[in-house]
Structure 1
Amino acid sequence: MPENIEQRVNKLRIKAAQRYNIAPERCHVGHLALEGMLERPSAICQIDGATNAQETNISVATRSMRLASAMKNAGFKPGDPIIISGPNHLDLAIPYYACHFMGYSMCSIDPSAEISDLKSLYGNIQPKIVFCQKENLEKNKEALEANRLDNVEIVAFDDMENFIQKHRGTEVNFKPSSDFDQSKTAAWYILTSGSTGLPKVAIITFDTLLNGVIEWWLPTRQDVIHMNMLMTSTQWLSSLIYFISSSIKPFVRLQSSQPVSPPLLVHMINTYKPTSTAWTPYLLARFVQAPAKVVDLSCFKHILVGGAPSEKHIIEEFKKLCDAELHLCYGMTELLVGCFDYNEKTTPFGSSGKPFSKYRYRLVDDEGQEVTEPHKNGELWVKGDAFFKGYLNNEKETKEMLTDDGWLKTGDIFYRDENDNYFFVERKRLLIRYLTTWVSPVQLEQIIRQHPSVSEVCVVGLSNPQTMEYPVAAILKKNGNVVEPQEIFDLVKKEMPEAKHLHGGLFFVEGFPMTPSGKVHRSKVAEMARQSERVFSLN
């Protein structure tokens, strides 16, 4: 019988405590990650599916210890902010693990980040060192100089060995740092705001992170995760979790130093046969629409599906192609983990699942009163030990998300049924205010997708001086089919009251801008809507 994640963590904690002669409670997630690698030295740790290069646990552990030692010798201390910005090549893991070993506060930024975002982030985070791609040296230098951080060293991944030698880094007698408060020291600064605006920086402390790792994997069967395939950069939560978990759980990490294009994705699946991954409903739909026999999905045993609501017909069609357990997960960066107990066999479709006993839950209406009856909407509030501690240097946003007594206000509207199944309705912040009516983009999108020639749709709100806002639909046609705009307007009018019609019109797109985590980038779609020639209803 395979050990569960709690048993595995306790085992690694005891072994690490013995190795470094410290009390078990002083062992943090960095100790456990290193111990997991040292325990299985010859096992494969990571594979780059784009180059087919791979690396063992002992190689990753040794390189990471040498860098961590060099950083300590260079004067870095627990809690110092460290930037890592690169694709998922094999070198990315080295500063990633070094930060966890030594108690540094790591912020991972997608290498495609705009210079304007970097300037804003570096002013907020005040990094002590930046690890990045050689081709991004100038971009990072400019962002640092804009914040008068001219003395911050920038190390290209190709030059890490020079940094290690300069500061006499060594794995000999290496010992992770344990002299810091795990409840107050940030392990991760995670960029959040998803597809809706400029990034905020969520704080995940070392103790919260370890709780999150445990609670992320508890609902998963122990015998199905042998190789996990990453789809996004480590700016995004799922990849961050998979990196730190791979030696703790353990499993092989399949990643890519190149953007995961459809041909590369097919190559990675057919060649390495991963058993688990995290996908968006959008990607599931692409597999459903792909030509038959292009890719063999039979290797998958567990697929986490999140980032957007799932449509029943897409799930049903995908299950015909792949027999994996699908975990339709509700979550957000600030929650760190899925906060509902979802079971593919027993959870009603459309529900996120039932509450976990370890967390507390509330639904709260617009007047601040708790909703106790079933089938009545309210904002979901949760309380637990795996959630974020606030936004870095942003007291206003923190107070909007966290109450004084520790409740996290998700900003998401839910209702519960008579059996305590919770159902996601809409993101509160995405609702469009048309005069005195709140309009749900998700509801309009579900209606428009009923049109047989619509492949995908995104509804956004644009400002309007007469009505406050109005909804606009961006539509991707299916396989180049002809779509008469009036058919879309009539479809909405048939099912929705006048106040919830497409008063801002619609326009057609050749494709949608996507976030690196695979979500439609709503703020960019809104910008497209402002600049596009829109079609309006004739009646």
Structure 2
Amino acid sequence: MASQAYDAVHWYMEEVGARVVAKTGIPSDRHHLGKLILHSLQDDPDFIFQMDGATGESETFGSALDRSIRCAVSLTNMGLKKGDVMVLMGPNHIHFSVPHNAALYLGIMVACVDATLGVNNHYTTLSQLLKVDDAAIKNFRPTDFDPAETVAYLTSTSGTTGVPKTAMLTHKNLSIGIRYIWIEFSKFPTPTRMVIVTSPAQWLSAGFHYLFSPIMKYTRLQTSATVTPEHFGELVNKYKPTYILISPTLMTTMMSKAKCDFNCFENIQVGGSAVTQEFLADLKKITNAKIYILYGMSEVSGPTLQQDESTQPGSYGRPIGGLELKLVDPKTYRVITEPHVPGELWYRGPSVFKGYYNNEEMTKETLTEDGWLKSGDILYRDEAWNLFFVERYKLLLKYRNHQVSPSEVESVIMKHPGVFQVAVTGIPDRECGDLVVACVVPKSGCSPSAQEIKDLVKGGVVF
């Protein structure tokens, strides 16, 4: 049996980085995502870059290059510069990547947020940003900066406990961390023909492909419509995507309701919530694809464990090569050296995030002084360092595409005059992830109804 070329993605990324450095003469540019993307788009102008399955629109590398440079010139003319923040909201249409890439060229931080939040009336349209003189396009040069210090993404994350936070991921964090998604692949460029993106744009799992589809040179299939089972089935049957990264909850829905042939997929990666053996067994019944669990966290810019065909059943995999890893007792901070003893997983390495945006207190709680990141997850290992998930030490719940803070919901419910105490937790659900449940202790002589509590939460918590 042939052995797996686990280093192929690293060889390829070093080659792309070396070509960029040869042009610029700046060694650190091998981690400058803006320059890596710009170089890749220039390399093959006729390659189909992206497709919107809802409208049938498609775009080449050449078109995306032209539009993103025009946008970058306009942003510069507006006074935006390295260190500023750009908030992007919208569905996964082919226009989304234009300001996204432009910001990366300039060192502007990209913060993708939920498109359902709404906007005020003061904004600039993309068509306005693309009205740029051709001479300015020819003279455009991306901004020089240190990729290790310059933040590329501000991404929503659960952190350890409490309300959702915003992790600061640098260009270097992401350029190193995301490549481990492709650790099982041996052919570069174009490790797979077409990736279908089902995550909303504000999730880092979508960002993986917005960032790396031009660098890895594969076509990104997305949709500006809601990803219903009916629409998903239409996309799969029409375009035959070869790769998908999807949550087990969404895949459970698609397996039961989408009318399509899953055998077009060559590789399926599942992650974002707990993956059971029952789920994997059901998935293997409908596809011949290679199936892997993608275990990681936003604060580490991608995967932290890797699986292969020898991975033990129930294990999420072994540590990737780019991170130091240890298991620690979360109460005593004793490093656990014995197998089969649960502990909190800690990481240290070049893909570990810079900290939480405007939240120094939580940064200090999550990152130790010597650079170790506390994951908030409890796992144990066997003698061969296969790691097995036990439970979340952190509290944040995940309901479909929403992050729900139990403490935030509790604070709203406590405003009810008839509530004495409340505890909020989650019940595991195959389709929804966590079903949020409130256990209410009423005040003496009071009888708050379930509907009153629901109405209070509905009006007081923003999901």
Deviations 1:126-176 (A, max 9, x none): xxxxxxxxxx344xx5xxxxxxxxxxxx22xxx223234379884213211
Residue in structure 2 matching 1:15, options 16, 19, 22: 19
> What's the counterpart of residue 363 of structure 2?
398
Matches within 5 A, 1:268-287: 268-287=235-254
Q: Deviations over 1:250-304 (max 9, x none)?
A: 100000111111111011111111111111112332244347xx20111101111
Q: 2:114 is matched with which residue: 92, 107, 110?
A: 110
| Cα deviation, residue 218, structure 1 | 2.5
Does structure 2 retain, via aligned residues, the 8 Å contact 1:211–1:386?
yes
What is the identity, as a one-letter code, of the residue corresponding to 1:411?
G
Match of 1:150 in 2: none
The Cα shift of 1:17 comes to 3.6
Measured on the aligned residues, the alpha-carbon RMSD in Å equals: 3.2
Across the two proteins, how many residue pairs are aligned to each other? 423
Counterpart CA distance in 2 for 1:245 and 1:22 is 23
The residue type paired with residue 90 of structure 1 is I
**Aligned counterpart for 1:227 among listed residues 194, 214, 233:** 194
Instruction: Verify the 8 A CA contact 2:20 2:29 in the aligned structure 1.
Output: no
Q: Secondary structure of 1:189's partner?
A: strand
Give the match for residue 157 of structure 2: 192
Task: Select which of 288, 294, 317 maps to 1:329.
Answer: 294
CA pair 331-70 structure 1, distance change in 2 beyond 3 A? same
On the 8 A contact 2:348/2:373 being kept in 1, the answer is: yes
Q: Which runs of 5+ in 1 are unaligned?
A: 116-135, 142-153, 432-440, 443-457, 477-511, 534-539
Alpha carbons 2:160, 2:394 under 8 Å: kept: no
Cα 1:302–1:83 change in 2 (3 A) is same
Residue of structure 2 in register with 1:419 after alignment = 384
Using CA pairs below 8 Å that are at least 6 residues apart, which structure has the higher relative contact order?
Answer: 2
For the residue of structure 1 that corresponds to 2:302, the secondary structure is coil
Q: Which residue number in structure 2 is paired with residue 387 of structure 1?
A: 352
1:346-357 matched pairs, under 5 angstroms: 346-357=310-321
Alpha-carbon deviations, 1:391-418, whole Å to 9, x = none? Answer: 0111111111100000000011111112
In 2 relative to 1, CA 18–475 (structure 1 residues): closer, same or farther, beyond 3 Å?
A: closer
Summarize the Cα distance change of 1:209–1:471 in structure 2 as closer, same or farther, 3 Å threshold. closer
Q: For the residues of structure 2 that align with 1:195 and 1:410, how far apart are their CA atoms?
A: 7
1:29 to 14, 26, 33: 33
8 A Cα contact 2:49 2:61, kept in partner: yes
Superposed CA deviations along residues 217-262 of structure 1, whole A, max 9, x for unmatched, are: 2333437511111112221111101011001111000001111111
Report the Cα distance in structure 2 between the residues aligned to 1:213 and 1:429, rounded to whole angstroms.
Answer: 24
* Distance in structure 1 (CA, Å) of the matches to 2:16 and 2:425: 53
Mapping 1:218-297, distance limit 5 Å: 218-222=183-187, 224-290=191-257, 294-297=259-262
For residue 60 of structure 1, give the secondary structure of its aligned residue in structure 2. Answer: helix
Moved more, 43-52 or 196-205: 196-205
d(CA) in 2 for partners of 1:467, 1:181: 50
Secondary structure, counterpart of 2:116 in structure 1: coil
Mapped contact 2:424–2:439 kept (Cα < 8 A): no
Structure 1 residues 472, 193: closer, same or farther in 2, change over 3 A? closer
Map 1:52-71; keep pairs closer than 5 Å. 52-71=56-75
Letter in 2 for 1:25: S
Tell me the CA shift for residue 105 of structure 1: 0.9
Secondary structure in 2 matching 1:78: coil
| TM-score between the two structures when normalised by the length of structure 1 | 0.72
- Residue number among 332, 337, 360 corresponding to 1:372 in the alignment: 337
Greater mean alpha carbon deviation, residues 266-275 or residues 187-196: 187-196
Distance 1:195 1:404, change over 3 A: closer
Tell me, yes or no, if the aligned pair for 1:224 and 1:275 is still in contact at 8 Å.
no
**Relative to 1, partners in 2 of residues 1:82 and 1:295: Cα closer, same or farther, differing over 3 Å?**
same
Structure-2-length-normalised TM-score: 0.83
1:176 corresponds in structure 2 to 142
Q: Secondary structure at the match of 1:84?
A: strand
Map Cα deviations across residues 61-102 of structure 1 (whole Å, 9 max, x no partner). Answer: 100011111212222221111111111111111001001111
Question: In structure 2, do the counterparts of structure 1 residues 387 and 44 end up closer, same or farther at CA, with 3 Å as the change threshold?
Answer: same
* Aligned partner of 2:324 among 352, 360, 366: 360
1:309 aligns with 2:274: yes
Q: Where does residue 526 of structure 1 map in the other structure?
A: 437
In the alignment, the residues of structure 1 paired with residue 170 and residue 424 of structure 2 have an alpha-carbon distance, to the nearest angstrom, of 40
Distance in 2, Cα, partners of 1:381 & 1:79: 29
Q: Which stretch shifts more, 63-72 or 356-365?
A: 356-365
Return closer, same or farther for 1:472/1:96 CA change in 2, 3 Å cut-off.
closer
In structure 2, what is the Cα distance between the partners aligned to 1:26 and 1:310? Answer: 37
d(CA) in 2 for partners of 1:329, 1:475? 19
Q: Name the CA shift for 1:395/1:282 in 2 (closer, same or farther; >3 Å).
A: same
